[in-house]
Amino acid sequence: MNELTNEFSELYEQERRRLRSFYDSLGDYASPVFGEGDINSKIMLIGEAPGKNEAEQGRAFVGKAGKQLNEMLELASLKREQLFITNAVKFRPIRIAKSSISNRTPTVKEIDSSLYVLKREIELIQPKFVITLGKTALTAVMKLTQADLSFTALKEIQGVPHSICANGFDFILYPMYHPASVIYNPVLKEAMEMSLRRIPQILVQCEV
Ligand code: URA
């Protein structure tokens, strides 16, 4: 194992231990999902949190979400193996109603307490280009970098590259919709596809 791989293992072990200390029924803390992909990549993609399939398989973006992600990446002429893929929150946030368990959006408190892992992942990867999928991932990155993108709705800044150079961070932030939010909305889907098609050119511009 090289030094970088070691750093990731230690970080994820620390988070595994932290999650083991939780005893509420708000999350699947026993099956966290951590970052994967090319640890030497200059492109990082950040999702929200694992869902059921991810928690079962221990991998980010698998099953339906994985298929969707691959289709998205194809429009950007990218393959998932070329990126480092992670989530803002590493455990599956759940809601238990009657006897069924469903996914839910992480709370602000859950995003905040998970920030230290995302921060370290960014420090270790040192990406030049960071794609955030949805509001949770964008919120987490803005908190970490103290970037003030001053927007009221994601549609104002999705697909717009933002230069982040503060707090020791230096990368282009590319906010996008969460794939799950565009499925049933053709307008958002078209906007997202246009944003994806612009990525190769932006990568050339930022010398990735
Ligand atoms: N799967 C993930 O790993 N993250 C998401 O945000 C959605 C699905």
Q: Is it the case that residue 190 has pLDDT exceeding 90? A: yes
Ligand 1 neighbours, Cβ below 6 Å, are: 47-51, 54, 60-61, 65, 87, 133
Atom of ligand 1 nearest to the CA of 179: 7
Q: Are strands 169-176 and 129-133 parallel, antiparallel or unpaired?
A: parallel
Confidence of residue 147 (pLDDT cuts 50, 70, 90): confident
Answer for the pair 91, 32: CB distance below 8 angstroms, yes or no. yes
As a whole-number percent, the residues of the chain with pLDDT over 70 amount to: 100
Q: What sections of 31-107 are H helices per DSSP? A: 52-57, 63-75
Residue 19, both tokens? 């999650």
Separation of CA 48 and ligand 1 centre (Å)? 6
| CATH tag for 3-205 (out of 3.40.1190.20, 3.30.70.1450, 2.60.40.1930, 3.40.470.10) | 3.40.470.10
Residue range 171-182: average pLDDT?
96
Atom of ligand 1 nearest to the CA of 136: 6
Confidence of residue 151 (pLDDT cuts 50, 70, 90): confident
Confidence of residue 99 (pLDDT cuts 50, 70, 90): confident
Question: How many other C-beta atoms can be found within 10 angstroms of the C-beta atom of residue 146?
Answer: 10
Give the pLDDT score at 98: 86
